[in-house]
Amino acid sequence: MIDLVTYIVRAIVDEPDAVEVGPGDRRGEPVIQVRVADADRGAVIGRQGRTIRAIETVLSAGRGRAPGLELVD
């Protein structure tokens, strides 16, 4: 899953070398944490969160229930 998220996020940002993806947890639930350059945060979030929700949809389609995504500073 982490490899897939890395591939997708690196494809949509301007600075792919700044992308860091790893496991984490939020309130006891597993998440995949994504770090990108400040200038690329908007590209990953998308308008009204559409891009990041689309990535979560792709992940959940691959597995019954995939961990959520968390864009961290």
Q: Cα–Cα distance between 39 and 56 in angstroms, integer? A: 21
Q: Could you list the pLDDT tens digit for every one of the 73 residues in the chain?
A: 889 999 999 999 999 999 999 998 888 888 889 999 999 999 999 999 999 999 988 888 766 655 667 777 6
Could you say which of 3.40.50.11810, 1.10.287.70, 1.10.3720.10, 3.30.300.20 is the CATH number of the domain covering 2-71? 3.30.300.20
The pLDDT, as a whole number, for residue 54 is 93
Using CA atoms in the order 50, 2, 43, 63, what is the torsion angle rounded to 10 degrees? Answer: -10
pLDDT of residue 60: 81
Instruction: Report the amino acid identity of residue 54.
Output: A
pTM passes above 0.95: no
- The pLDDT assigned to 73 comes to 67
